[in-house]
Chain A
Amino acid sequence: MKIAIASGKGGTGKTTLSTNLADLCAERKDFPGIILADMDVEEPNSGLFIQREVQKEIIRNKMIPQWDKDLCSNCGVCDSICRFNSLLKLGKTILVMPELCHSCYACSELCPENALPMQMQKMGRQTIFNTDSFIFIESRLDVGQEQAVPLIAQSIEYIDSKYPKDFLVLLDSPPGSSCPVIEAAKNSDFVILVTEPTPFGLHDLKMAVNTMREIKKDFAVVINRFGIGNDAVIRYCSDEKIDIIAKLPDKREIAELYSKGKLVHRDVPEFGKELKKVAKYLKRLSDRRNNQ
């Protein structure tokens, strides 16, 4: 079962929840195996909280067209076909902008002269780590690369092909509500939206909720730093009939442990108690899916 841990707003606690939850679930043994995969490929940080040992590193490439000016007849089909404007006909030259390319192959396939063969370009890497209790996978985009989606897609494909379906896979997803988080969410069975009980948290939660409804994904909410702000998030969830799985408390101790790169669920009992609710919720979710 794959769970995307997402949020609208950044900094609400996706990584705190993901890392602590992976550790707790491994301890509880509700699932035959646990995988924590950091899909926030532009700034992966789950690894900071995990004692780990590299098992395998995979270079990830994407395909971009390369213009062959000797074959080109200057017809301009490529320019008119590209939805992302990543390829322009300028007089007698074709200019390719690799950063805008989504590797859709349209220009390459439709070029009547085969003057745009696709070529490999390195975009990042995926590293598989062993920890004492679970498998940790980090995907990291190279500096200067702008497209997170192809790396997220390839990383999830790898997990799907290598590990049993009854493992619990937690995807620590990118923030926001645009393409990268959609890529992580659409390939998951369920989404946990982490928010904070503030006007900013609520505003971005609503965008994330709309996104999940648009792509028809089941989801529920975890409130982090419960105790600050106001009760507007709770009222919103109740009006919209959205499950609130847990309310992780706001405590200075948690921030202190976090700043030292430590997990908190064992040392802060109030946090551990709420986190257990999330673990149990996932177990129930999985049982229900298996019975269907």
Chain B
Amino acid sequence: MRIAFTTKGKDWDSQMDPRFGRTDYIFLYDDESEETLIEDNTAIQNAAHGAGPQTAKKLFDLSPDILITGNGPGGNAAEVLKKSELKIYIGAGNMTVKEAYSAFKEGRLDAN
């Protein structure tokens, strides 16, 4: 299973980014191969419009099974993500990546 996190940094101890569209990084973890992959999304800060759909497109191309984030995607981004099979969990905005992963494993995060 491949899990994507919206994060402010590149490590397990980094803070989660509560924002979806303007998240700094997408942290991708494959819990079978135990591989991580970091997608740099910092360039999105320059986008005046449509940051949500743009990040959603990136996620669509990465095609993880699960997304863990803070506030959840907005309307346009949600429209894009509907085209994928992705399951979204929210409410992890104030955690570290590690904490968010445990919270998800223990079923403490809300499905969006």
Contact = CB atoms under 8 A, between A and B. Distances in A.
A272 B64 CA distance: 66
A100 B53 contact: yes
Interface string B44-72: 00010111011011001000000000000
B79 interface: yes
B49 A85 contact: yes
A89 B58 CA distance: 11
B80 interface: yes
A83 interface: yes
B112 interface: no
Tell me the interface secondary structure of chain B in the complex.
Answer: helix
Contacts of B42: none
What band does the interface of chain A fall in when counting residues whose beta carbon is under 8 Å from B? 10 to 19
B57 A99 contact: no
Given A93-B83, A95-B80, A88 B49 contact: no
A143 interface: no
A190 B8 CA distance: 45
B94 interface: no
B79 A95 contact: yes
B23 to A, nearest CB: 15
Given A85-B53, A85-B54, A97-B53, A90 B76 contact: no
Interface of B: 47, 49-51, 53-54, 56-57, 60, 76, 79-80, 83
